[in-house]
Chain A
Amino acid sequence: MSVQIWTFIFVFLTFGLYIGIAVWSRAGSTSDFYVAGGGVPPLANGMATAADWMSAASFISMAGLISFLGRDGTFYLMGWTGGYVLLALLLAPYLRKFGKFTVPDFIGDRYYSRTARLIAVFCAISVSFVYVCGQMQGAGIVFSRFLEVDITTGVIIGMAIVFFYAVLGGMKGITYTQVAQYCVLIFAFMVPAIFISILMTGIPIPQIGFGAELTEAFGGGYLLDRLDGMSQELGFAVYTEGQRSTQDVFFITAALMFGTAGLPHVIIRFFTVPNVRDARRSAGFALIFIAILYTTAPAVAAFARTNLINTVNNAEYTAMPEWFSKWETTNLISFNDKNGDGRIQYVGDPETNELEVNRDIMVLANPEIANLPNWVVALVAAGALAAALSTAAGLLLVISTSVAHDLMKRSFMPDISEKQELLYARTAIFIAVLVAGYVGINPPAYVAQVVAYAFGLAAASFFPAIVLGIFQKSMNKQGAVAGMIAGFLFTAGYIIYFKSLNPAMDNAQGWLLGISPEGIGTFGTLINLAVASLVASFTPEPPEDVQAIVEEIRLPGEAIRR
């Protein structure tokens, strides 16, 4: 059977499964809708968190990025996992004990201020929205390449599915579909990785194959040594050596960690478990489930890079396999025969290099490059869709709760009934789906870049405000509000300056202390902390009942909510 038929079968089956789960887990109350009634077992929540977290970027782009960055790709690996240590140790148990529905809920109550709540709503919506657009683009790429429908139809199908289960089930529906989506995506990621590892090194565990010797067919020698050698020969950077400056890698890693711990769609997942103990446990499960993919990704990156160079370099253009021309039609691979010899020269020097490969296709094309069976290729497509849709759903829920709960119920229309609040929440998802779908179909060029900056913004705004709210009892509203505004404006300003206003300066010489816009969120976090502490030192202490809340959330036990 062809790849396309297999893809149709997998996509049809998995989408049917998601819809079935949505019908089975309809939401009846606002508590169901916002936090799945607070009754999700830690194992299920761990899986849902992992699916929520691992987006189209983790599934499709990350291994590809690493295979082009080599050692520098480390900041994605450590940054996107190390944040879970912060989440588990500094945030999850206490926020669960606090026991409300959203992140702005915590900020608003802890800092006894509508201003603080509204700033948090603004940050939550802007971070989530930027992020959701990236997911829709990812879904569009998969549909257009594997189902050969146009991107518009692809995005509409994806949006319809997400809309259906998010509106019907709210957090409850999303949680259980995310559990299913995790299983689909991890299976889809691991099967080709294991196949390729066996093929190239004879070892079925990719994490070990990564450091093992290649089989005779691939020329023997350690995989990484060979990759280093080939890279050097062709004028690329040595794979296991870093190119970026140490302080830049340091700051980017830290920004991604703080950002991970500050992303509202991840934090709210910890509101859905029954108690504090389970919140800690589900953070552990979440990181294990994430680590399975994240330790495999660098191995896939190295395999894919080796394989790509082996396949294309100095090969006859006319002898290229079928996948090559298929990806050429999507413009994600392009060949320009500069010296007219009919062969592909794939080298580091841009003057003589004849092949441009989009890094997003490395994971998707990898099974085809390695000649794996058609059903494996199709499985990867279904996994990529699961990754994109699960994250999109989690983000849409943050947008909808921010609007219905934080903006309507808690800020401007406190008198609305639960039924009305639910109606607002569902309407908000509907509108968010339409807007995200529109942006997915007509992607502005900067969206993909901006997703990476969502982390910096979350790091500079939410993370310090929440940590101070828990660990520093004397932190007051003036401090928190000033800190969030300073951190957000500084980080957003730095990014906008280098990416839009003055892109000519966007290089290591132009940057402040050699820190790239990707890493500036760390600086924003520090500014937030410093401004908050400074302002809090000469403004009045928080009232006693707020200090009592802080003391209460520090102890596990019955949640305040119910």
Chain B
Amino acid sequence: MRKVVPSGEEADASLLPIDTLETYFSQLCHKALFPTRNDLRTLSTNNTNKEVSMSDKNALDYWKSNIRLVLSLLGIWFFISFGCGILLADTLDEIRIGGFKLGFWIAQQGAILVFVILIYVYIYLMDKLDDAYNLNRDEGKTAEPREEAQ
């Protein structure tokens, strides 16, 4: 259960002192993905920028979706390169495809292909996200933000 804290600044301070770096980051990620109402309130009081035409609530939703997308893509990135290409490579080498051992192939060819695909998935999904929040069409001179499709 998350402890309820009175304001955003103190919420930040409540993350510390750091027990371990790992818990610190996991708390940070948790906070980014599932902000409390207090976090939301802090964000809207801190946001003094009048240029941003979308509402603070929308800006936060957009950022949350963005973080979620980036973290999942980086998860795949880590799994393929460090997981399959290095840590599990010897095990995967048992499997052969043509003249390649699988672990060796992933390390020297497959991972690079996956990297390219990941960037294109990111481009595609971010474009969709931007459209859902009406963030590109007129390069910032947007009218009212549309509701997200789903």
Contact = CB atoms under 8 A, between A and B. Distances in A.
Interface of A: 66, 71, 73-74, 77-78, 81-82, 84-86, 88-90, 93, 207, 210-213, 222-225, 240, 242, 246, 249-250, 253-254, 257, 275-277, 280-281, 283-284, 287-288, 291, 294-295, 298, 471-472, 474, 529-530, 533-534, 537, 541, 544-545, 547-548, 551-552, 554-558
Q: Which 9 A-B pairs have the closest CB atoms?
A: A557-B140, A558-B140, A222-B99, A211-B99, A74-B107, A211-B100, A548-B49, A298-B108, A537-B16
Contacts of A71: 89, 104, 107-108
Contact of B62 (A283, A533, A555): A555
B136 interface: yes
Interface in B58-104: 59, 62-63, 66-67, 70, 73-74, 77, 81-82, 85-87, 89-90, 93, 97-101, 104
Contacts of A88: 119, 122-123
B130 A556 contact: yes
16 contacts: A71-B104, A78-B112, A85-B115, A89-B73, A89-B122, A90-B70, A211-B99, A242-B90, A250-B87, A288-B116, A533-B24, A534-B18, A537-B16, A551-B47, A554-B63, A554-B66
Given A78-B85, A210-B109, A277 B116 contact: no
Given A280-B122, A295-B113, 18 more contacts: A73-B108, A78-B81, A78-B107, A82-B81, A85-B119, A89-B74, A210-B99, A222-B98, A284-B116, A287-B119, A295-B109, A295-B112, A548-B48, A552-B51, A552-B52, A557-B53, A557-B139, A558-B139
Query: Is chain B's binding surface mostly helix, strand, loop or mixed?
Result: helix
Given A88-B119, A294-B112, A277 B136 contact: yes
Contacts of A257: 81
A356 B70 CA distance: 47
Nearest to B129: A556
Nearest to B109: A295
Contacts of A287: 115-116, 119
Contacts of A552: 49, 51-52
A85 B118 contact: yes
A85 B54 CA distance: 28
A78 B66 contact: no
A551 B52 contact: yes
A556 B136 contact: yes
Interface of B: 9, 12-13, 16-18, 21, 24, 28, 43, 46-49, 51-54, 59, 62-63, 66-67, 70, 73-74, 77, 81-82, 85-87, 89-90, 93, 97-101, 104-105, 107-109, 111-113, 115-116, 118-120, 122-123, 126-127, 130, 135-136, 139-142
A20 B6 CA distance: 65
Contacts of A89: 70, 73-74, 119, 122
Nearest to A214: B99
Contacts of B107: 71, 74, 77-78
Contacts of B100: 210-211, 224
A88 B74 CA distance: 11
Contacts of A223: 99
A85 B114 CA distance: 10
Nearest to A529: B21
B26 to A, nearest CB: 13
A529 B139 CA distance: 34
B135 A556 contact: yes
A557 B135 contact: yes
Contacts of A474: 12
Contacts of A253: 81-82, 85-86
Contacts of B46: 544, 547-548, 551
A254 B82 contact: yes
Contacts of B136: 275-277, 556-557
A429 B97 CA distance: 51
A537 B140 contact: no
B49 A291 contact: no
A73 B126 CA distance: 34
A291 B116 contact: yes
A22 B119 CA distance: 32
For A74, A84, A474, the residue with the greatest tally of chain B CB atoms inside 10 Å of its CB is A74
Contacts of A280: 119, 122-123, 126
Contacts of A84: 115, 119
B73 to A, nearest CB: 6
A25 to B, nearest CB: 25
A82 B86 contact: no
B48 A555 contact: no
Contacts of A556: 130, 135-136
B140 to A, nearest CB: 3
Contacts of B48: 544-545, 548
Contacts of B123: 88, 280-281, 284
Given A74-B108, A298-B108, A537-B16, A555 B73 contact: no
A209 to B, nearest CB: 9
B12 to A, nearest CB: 5
B115 A82 contact: yes
Nearest to A97: B140
A240 B115 contact: no
A7 to B, nearest CB: 31
Nearest to B53: A557
A211 B89 CA distance: 17
Nearest to A557: B140
Given A85-B77, A552-B49, A224 B59 contact: no
Given A78-B111, A240-B104, A547-B46, A225 B119 contact: no
B46 to A, nearest CB: 6
Contacts of B99: 210-213, 222-225
For B87, B107, B118, the residue with the greatest tally of chain A CB atoms inside 10 Å of its CB is B107
Contact of B113 (A74, A281, A291, A547): A291
A39 to B, nearest CB: 14
A319 to B, nearest CB: 31
A211 B98 contact: yes
B127 A277 contact: yes
Contacts of A288: 116
Contact of B115 (A211, A291, A548): A291
A212 B105 CA distance: 12
